[in-house]
A and B are shown apart, each in its own frame.
Chain A
């Protein structure tokens, strides 16, 4: 039985003062991650049946807003930021040293501040109303609800960052939320294209 290193020699007068946390001798995450890779898709949500199969054709769109971060990062890397994947927002990069190294971070940080991203987003937002009008009313309502939820999340995170600007986790969540928004906008754009149903 091992005890935490900083507990050696420390005396306590109550069992509640005993350390609750003991770090394992090695990083267990790689083993966990490898096994997550073997699980069927959707395992994280309890093996939910895909919405399309339940006869709710566009429900996936709202879920896609949350699912899309990594895929979208790759997409943006290809289509918006050729050759800029290594550039990071200095504030974000500086703070990432305080948290475990997780991929892909520099791209995340770079794209939201890139003018090409802003242009692309502005174009999608401008076309949004016309695109939404092309969708069936239930789909339109769901997309609008998703975008409203994302907008609220952005505001909450920006507010939280105002109070704690150096917080790397909040920064990452904000970047992810921007990615989610971009994904929904892109999906709406593609879904309302003639000949490309959702």
Chain B
């Protein structure tokens, strides 16, 4: 109850900050930046696997967000909206630096939880995720780490939902091999 109220109040502040930032208030936008930078940078880092590139992507995400703030619809969450921008920016940066891989064909059949049979260290999982092929990694990061649905992740990545599921299937298989534990 108290948590829900706190969350509601936080969202209220966020809406107020968005309104002020839309009107050109940079201090309000800085507040929003400080609130969301960790989640944006976390996503960019996982997608690019390069701290410098992730910093560039994070900066570009917030600059693009500032430009497009007038188009942000408050019925969606700011966090998701920023993630959409961050995915676009990260994909664009990556496209510049290398060829795009062909997607797999087999579709994901597992659950959405991505539980591990035995506990594994966060750092070890990050390492294994980092070694995944780009397409599989993107789908896994958005779906399994950040909790987006297959459809949302597919939309953010600009791919078909079936392709996203296939990438997740591949990610699950590779993760299982690399961590040497069952991934359900």
| Residues of A near any B CB (own CB < 8 A) | 1-3, 7-16, 18-26, 28-29, 31-33, 35-36, 39, 41-48, 63, 66-67, 69-70, 100, 102-103, 153, 160, 163-164, 169-170, 173, 176
Contacts and interface: CB of A to CB of B under 8 A. Distances in A.
Contact of B145 (A9, A15, A70): A15
A15 B144 contact: yes
Given A36-B26, A153-B16, 9 more contacts: A1-B126, A10-B122, A12-B119, A16-B147, A20-B42, A45-B23, A46-B70, A67-B24, A102-B27
Contact of A3 (B19, B21, B70, B126): B126
Contacts of B147: 16
Interface string B130-151: 1000000000100011110000
A198 to B, nearest CB: 18
B60 to A, nearest CB: 9
Given A16-B144, A16-B147, A22-B38, A160 B45 contact: no
A102 B54 CA distance: 25
Task: Report, nearest first, the 9 A-B pairs whose CB atoms are least far apart.
Answer: A46-B70, A21-B38, A66-B23, A11-B119, A22-B42, A15-B114, A45-B70, A15-B144, A7-B122
Interface of B: 9, 12-13, 16-17, 19-27, 29-31, 33-34, 37-39, 41-42, 45-46, 49, 51, 54-55, 58-59, 62-63, 66-71, 113-116, 118-123, 125-127, 130, 140, 144-147
Contacts of A46: 67-71
B26 A23 contact: no
A41 B16 CA distance: 21
Contacts of A14: 113-116
Contacts of A35: 59, 63
B45 A2 contact: yes
B66 A44 contact: yes
A65 to B, nearest CB: 9
A2 B33 CA distance: 21
A25 to B, nearest CB: 7
A28 B24 contact: no
Contact of A66 (B12, B20, B27, B125): B20
A196 to B, nearest CB: 24
A35 B39 CA distance: 21
Contacts of B38: 20-23
A3 B118 CA distance: 20
A168 to B, nearest CB: 10
Nearest to B112: A16
Contact of B23 (A3, A44, A102): A44
B41 A24 contact: yes
A81 B53 CA distance: 47
A45 B69 contact: yes
Contacts of A22: 38, 41-42, 45
B54 A44 contact: no
Contacts of A163: 9
A45 B24 contact: yes
Nearest to B61: A32
A22 B36 CA distance: 10
